[in-house]
Structures are given as C-alpha cells and as structure tokens.
Structure 1
Amino acid sequence: MISVYTYAGSRSLRVVWALEELGLDYQCHALRLDKGEGQTPEHLARHPDGKVPVLVDGDVTVFESGAICRYLVAKYGKDGQLMPSDPEGQAQLDQWLFFVLTELEQPLWTQAKHAFALPDEQKVASVIPTAAWEYKRALGALERRFDGTGWLVGDAFSLADIFLVQTLGWAEKARHPVPEQFKDYLARCTARPAWARAIAREEEAAAEVAS
C-alpha cells in the first residue's frame, strides 16, 4: 500500500491530486508540522529535513513533490496519463515542472517565509518587495509561452498543470493578480473531480490527527 505524508494545503496536495488522477489506492497520513511532528526520529528517517510530502511505496521512499509525482506517473501511469509518453514530450513536461518550482513558486515562498513562516529573528521584511518583483517577472515569462488555452504541455492535462494550478492559487491567496487569461484555465483544472477528492482527503487526514 502506498503511503503519503501530508500537511493540508502544502505541496503535498500536488501528490495527493496526482494519486487521485491516477486512481491509486493509498493511505494519507497527516503530520502536525506546527506541533513538531516533522522532527521526530521516525519522520526524519523519511525526510532528512522533516518536511512533507513524503511517499512510501513498499521499499521505496521519495521526498520532494516533483520527484514523487514523476515517480508515480512513471510507475503507475498508463497511455500518457499525466505525462507524455515520448522523450520529447517528457522533456517539455520537465521544463515546465522545473520552471514552476524554481522560478514561479520560489519568490512566493520567499515572501511567505519572511512574512510569517520564519522565526522572527530570521525575517527580513525588505526582501518581500524584491520577491514580488521576481514573481511578476516569472509570470511574464509564463505568459509569453502559455495563454491559458488548452493545457501547459501537449494536448492533455498533465503534472505540469497540477503544479502550475496550485502555484497560481498560492499567488491569488497572497493577493497577487492572476492574469485574466488564466481564470478559465484555473476553473477547468479545479473542476476536475480528482482536485476536490484530493482536498477532501488531506482535510480528512488532518481532522483525524487533530481530534
């Protein structure tokens, strides 16, 4: 049985969404990271920095959301499900996964860290405007290649869309404007049944450990 370790609303949602899209059976284990559960010896054996997501599939343990999702699709995906089957298409997928993770998401996370996530003595408020500028620049690069019609890679919904949708959702929550041409794209992606199931699964797991 596949096990995934999560924290509701974090990057773990991407993994749960991918699991739901693939129709796999899995156990969802919520960790109360705010209570220090990520730093237990048991979890540090899964993830060296005590974070989520972590996937355990038999003897295989994988951390980092991009690596986990690529592993799941490579092992369990069928007929180009969530990832093109040809090397050229896979390269395009990886190109956008890396772009979202390193260029689009990172300035958002930098702002969040210096606004509320880091210890007070480590916060540097002057970093936040620079991070906002970096996000705007990365968004402009995205717009030059993707206008919100169709899908980010090829002619089918893929992991690239999962990662982009969650990241743009974070941008909206941080009060960054999302270009109008992406509104319909976001609505189409979040209307997928697997999206709602993934959110519900994480929330249910979190509720179980909170009770």
Structure 2
Amino acid sequence: MSLEIIGGARSRAFRVLWLAEELGLDYRHLSEAPHSALVSALNPLGQIPILRDDDVVLTDSLAILHYLADRADRFTFPTGTPERALMDARINFVLTELEAPLWMAARHSFVLPEDRRHPEIKPWLKDDFRDAGQRFTRLLDGAQFLAGDTFTIADIVAGHTIGWSIVAKFDPSDELKAYLRNLSDRPAWQRARAD
C-alpha cells in the first residue's frame, strides 16, 4: 500500500497524520495548502485533507479516519454494534457542537472574502464553544477517552478540535485542557505534530 496524506499538519490533515502514526503506517506527507494545484486536481472542492491510497482518492478527515481505522480494525468498533453507534454519536457531537463555532470563526476571519466577513459574531461563537465544552465534559463523565477506557478515532477528532480551540484563542476549560494533555502525551501525537 502506497499512502499519501495531503494537507498541512496545522489543518484537519493532522487528524489523518495522527491516526497514521497510531497505526504505524508507512506514508508520505505532502504539506499542501487548500486550492493548490495538486489539491484542486484531486478534490474539485479544493479542500484538505486528501488521502491517496494507490488508485483510491479520499477527501474529508472523518471519511479518511473511518477508512483507515476500519481497514486496520483498530481505534474503532465493528459496524452495526452499539459501541460503534456511540462512537459515531460522540464524533457527531464534536463536529456539530465543538468544531462548528471554530470553523465559523475561521470563516469570518480568513476563509470568506473580506466583504462577507462578520467578525462581530466571534464573542457569541466563543460562548457556544464554552457551552459545548461543558456538555463534552459531561459526555466524558470522568473517563480517559470518549469510549471510556478505549482510545478511538473519536478522541482524534476531539483532540484536534480542542487543540484548534487553543490556537484560535477560544479558551477551553481546564477539563478540556486536561483531556487534551492526556491525548497529546501519546507518542503518535508527538510524531504527527513533528511532521
């Protein structure tokens, strides 16, 4: 298998790099920006990350995480099981509740054309993130990972998102920071971050 992970490590591509390191995969990382010539040739939307696995080209970080985890049968649960449904529900919560305010803030900071940006919404987005962070803490319920004692791709999505919140100055709670510290101590996180 000849894997290429395309996208800068400071983007959602970090999720894919992290899982690749957790799985011990041999891959080539191409640090491409959105809408670069290569990215646009592989994804008509011009978005990253992209995974190229021989003749297979996949886009979207979550789709790629599921693809890699399912193939390896690691960091996930079998489809059709209650554990898989719960993991997917936790991922959906992270994406729709924690990540959504961050993405909206990014859109109104640098993604949208300047004449369509409304930076005045950022304080409300930070409030939304804070409220979602409190609900996330309730989901954890004192556990080490979103699936209790089992590290899964849900933790990869959540860990990346909380890290993003720090960079975006969204001031995550002490509980979110503690959860992130636990994840960032993993050797695979460190290797992916060094890329």
Q: Give TM-score scaled by structure 2 length.
A: 0.90
Pick which of 115-124 and 15-24 moved more: 115-124
Uncovered stretches (5+) of structure 1, i.e. residues with no partner: 202-211
Pick which of 113-122 and 157-166 moved more: 113-122
Query: Displacement of 1:193 after TM fit?
Result: 0.7
Choose which of 44, 51, 67 in structure 2 pairs with 1:71: 67
1:65-121 deviation per Cα after TM superposition (whole angstroms, max 9, x unaligned): 0000000011123xxx21124611111111111111122101111112212333211
> What SS class does the counterpart of residue 55 from structure 1 fall into?
strand
Q: What residue number does 1:163 align with?
A: 157
Higher-RCO chain (CA-CA 8 Å, sequence separation at least 6): 1
> What SS class does the counterpart of residue 30 from structure 2 fall into?
strand
Matches within 5 A, 1:1-211: 1-33=2-34, 37=36, 40=37, 42-77=38-73, 81-85=74-78, 87-201=81-195
Q: Identity, % of aligned pairs? A: 36
Query: Displacement of 1:148 after TM fit?
Result: 4.7
Work out whether residues 148 and 181 of structure 1, in 8 Å CA contact, stay in contact via their aligned partners in 2: no
- Measured at CA, do residues 141 and 69 of structure 1 come closer, stay the same or move farther in structure 2, by a change above 3 Å? same
Q: What residue number does 1:206 align with?
A: none
Work out whether residues 148 and 184 of structure 1, in 8 Å CA contact, stay in contact via their aligned partners in 2: no
Q: CA RMSD in A?
A: 1.8
Work out whether residues 13 and 198 of structure 1, in 8 Å CA contact, stay in contact via their aligned partners in 2: yes
Work out whether residues 140 and 148 of structure 2, in 8 Å CA contact, stay in contact via their aligned partners in 1: no
Uncovered stretches (5+) of structure 2, i.e. residues with no partner: none
* Cα distance between partner residues in 2 of 1:183 and 1:147: 15
> What SS class does the counterpart of residue 42 from structure 2 fall into?
coil
* Cα distance between partner residues in 1 of 2:39 and 2:125: 31
Q: Give TM-score scaled by structure 1 length.
A: 0.84
1:34-75 deviation per Cα after TM superposition (whole angstroms, max 9, x unaligned): xx51xx3x5334212111100111222110000000000111
Query: Displacement of 1:149 after TM fit?
Result: 3.1
Work out whether residues 33 and 39 of structure 2, in 8 Å CA contact, stay in contact via their aligned partners in 1: no
Query: Displacement of 1:11 after TM fit?
Result: 0.2
